Amino acid sequence: MSATLLIGGRWREGALPPLPVFNPATQEVLAHTADASAHDVDAAVASAAAAFPAWAARSGRERAALLHRAAERFRAVHLEEAAVLLTRENGKPLSDSRKELLYSADVIDFYADEARRITGTHFSGDMGGTHSFVWKEPVGVVGAIVPYTFPVDLLAWKLGPGLAAGCTFVVKPSELAPLSVLRFVQAFLDAGLPEGVINVVTGGGAAGAALVEHPLVSKIAFTGSVDTGRRIGEAAARQFKRTTLELGGSAPCIVFADSDIRTAAAAALRRCFSHTGQICISVNRIFVERPAFAAFVEYFSVAAARLHVTADGVAEPNADMGPMISAAAVDKVAAHVADAQALGARAVLGGHRLTDGAYARGHFYAPTVLTGVTPAMRVMREETFGPVAPLMPFDSRDEALALANDTPYGLAAYVYTRDLETAFACARGLRCGGIGINVNDITDIRAPFGGMKHSGIGRELGEPGLDAYLEHKHIRLNAGGR
């Protein structure tokens, strides 16, 4: 399989040598995808630009019907096979893959409904007989560039609102996990989406960069690392393109002594280690009020020691963790842990790669719990993006907030307390886009999702997630009279 360029409604091969897609648990080659050239990107953008006027002119009702049909088709026909592909290419256990894909279809359904609710406003002007009309129009051709972490879901967060708004797309999946995305897109074609409304260019960073530079692309919707996001933001700014940049995170979890420590430890554990810590809203730094620190460390590390790491997430669909995405990702985790240990941290659990038996051929790192950490360590300052939980005590709310905010990131944070005043003081004091209080997930389709500081620009999901694909146009009419 390398006919993975979708241009003008047809799957095509690329001219460049195809790229292998690896199973990170075994390093086996799963498939090959085309490596889109600048010429391929140009053809895909031209196709999206040609399809734009007719798609934008369709009624919200028609767009809604097509999107609902695509979501239904995906659930009914593609979901199981796409879930296996996702597990094989990304490493997450099958039940996590299914959950991601069901959520993706749900996002499409949610924005399909919204397609019918895109309306403008009218008001009488405050001078003479003028009237103002505010229309909402689709921004145009969108380049959607997604990472390997939640490759389908994070695409659905873009396609759902963008298609509902009337935009057309060129999608650039991650070269590390493109296969499940291709199945997701196929569901839209099956549903009868007009040709050219979604195009796909598989390939690496060069294909993404060509998309960002293309003058006919009006908006870039990107999810990925801060470094890539900065490059994209700079290039897009030169052409005044609209951007949504969903970037990295270093989420703190603040646990107060008045909370149910066992529950908080279980919740933090799940948010630390699921997807092997490779989630932008993973818990990365845990601060526990000193009187509860020893109990928390005990509960947390005992539970962490029971986590099952699978080398075959299809055969063991309910395993806790799988491999990391690449050798480079494991090396980064190992470097961060080594740095912490050199500066005095202690690995209560883990602190090493997994290399024996079933783990021998893949990219595995053991669930790791560190104590004795300080803010100077890389695990506390950078995005480790792996199965590492640094635990640190604090003595006051102000200290906890200062520690939590001491990072260039501002995506997610979590707070555990039974005290309402403490909860709201933390919600006010934390500089990040989403805060979970006594809950370890900040995602709700109806609520905005996104980051402050270096975690990005703009919001996805909810109403802002739709507005990001609409231009507001003001028409001022002098109708005469008064």
Give dist(CA 78, CA 407) in Å, integer.
41
Number of H helices, E strands in the chain: 15, 22
Q: Pick the catalytic residue: 89, 100, 114, 246?
A: 246
CA-based torsion, 286, 292, 294, 299: positive or negative: negative
Token pair in block for residue 240: 């005044």
Residue among 358 and 452 whose Cβ is closer to ligand NAD: 452
Q: Is 167 a catalytic residue?
A: no
For residue 10, the minimal CB distance to ligand NAD (Å) is: 22
Helices (H), 116-196: 153-165, 179-190
For residue 445, the minimal CB distance to ligand NAD (Å) is: 14
Residues 110 and 71 sit within 8 Å (Cβ to Cβ): no
Helices (H), 116-178: 153-165
Residues linked to residue 12 through DSSP beta bridges, in sequence order: 5
Give dist(CA 323, CA 32) in Å, integer.
21
| Contacts to ligand NAD from residues 324-363, by CB under 6 A | none
For residue 37, the minimal CB distance to ligand NAD (Å) is: 15
Nearest to 250 by CA among 453, 448, 417: 453
440 to 459: interface string for ligand NAD, x by CB under 6 A: -----------x----x---
Residues 449 and 456 sit within 8 Å (Cβ to Cβ): no
Per DSSP, 75 falls in state I
Task: Using CB positions, name the residue nearest to ligand NAD.
Answer: 208
| Contacts to ligand NAD from residues 121-150, by CB under 6 A | 145-150
Residue among 98 and 158 whose Cβ is closer to ligand NAD: 158
| Contacts to ligand NAD from residues 398-437, by CB under 6 A | 411
Residue among 109 and 175 whose Cβ is closer to ligand NAD: 175
Of 383, 400, 407, 459, the one binding ligand NAD (CB under 6 A) is 383
Q: How many residues does the chain have?
A: 482
For residue 464, the minimal CB distance to ligand NAD (Å) is: 14
Residue keyed to tokens 């669930």:
367
Residue among 303 and 413 whose Cβ is closer to ligand NAD: 413
For residue 232, the minimal CB distance to ligand NAD (Å) is: 5
For residue 170, the minimal CB distance to ligand NAD (Å) is: 12
For residue 243, the minimal CB distance to ligand NAD (Å) is: 11
Residue among 41 and 401 whose Cβ is closer to ligand NAD: 41
| Contacts to ligand NAD from residues 227-266, by CB under 6 A | 228, 231-232, 246-249
Region of 218-226, 255-263, 291-299, 474-482 interacting with ligand NAD (CB under 6 A): 218-226
278 to 297: interface string for ligand NAD, x by CB under 6 A: --x-----------------
Give dist(CA 100, CA 151) in Å, integer.
9
68 CB neighbour count, 10 Å cutoff = 17
C-alpha R_g of the chain: 23
Burial of 370 (0-12, 13-18, 19+ CB in 10 A): buried
For residue 433, the minimal CB distance to ligand NAD (Å) is: 9
Q: Is 246 a catalytic residue?
A: yes
Of 9, 194, 204, 372, the one binding ligand NAD (CB under 6 A) is 204
Residue 70 touching ligand NAD (CB under 6 A) = no
Tell me which H or E stretch contains 196. Answer: none
Residues 405 and 381 sit within 8 Å (Cβ to Cβ): no
Size of the site for ligand NAD (CB under 6 A): 31
Q: Pick the catalytic residue: 280, 289, 382, 383?
A: 280
Of 7, 66, 79, 212, the one binding ligand NAD (CB under 6 A) is 212
Give dist(CA 455, CA 468) in Å, integer.
17
Residues 250 and 263 sit within 8 Å (Cβ to Cβ): no
Nearest to 30 by CA among 72, 85, 75: 85
Enzyme catalytic residues: 246, 280
Question: Which positions touch ligand NAD (CB under 6 A)?
Answer: 145-150, 154, 172, 174-175, 204-205, 208-209, 212, 223-225, 228, 231-232, 246-249, 280, 383, 385, 411, 451, 456
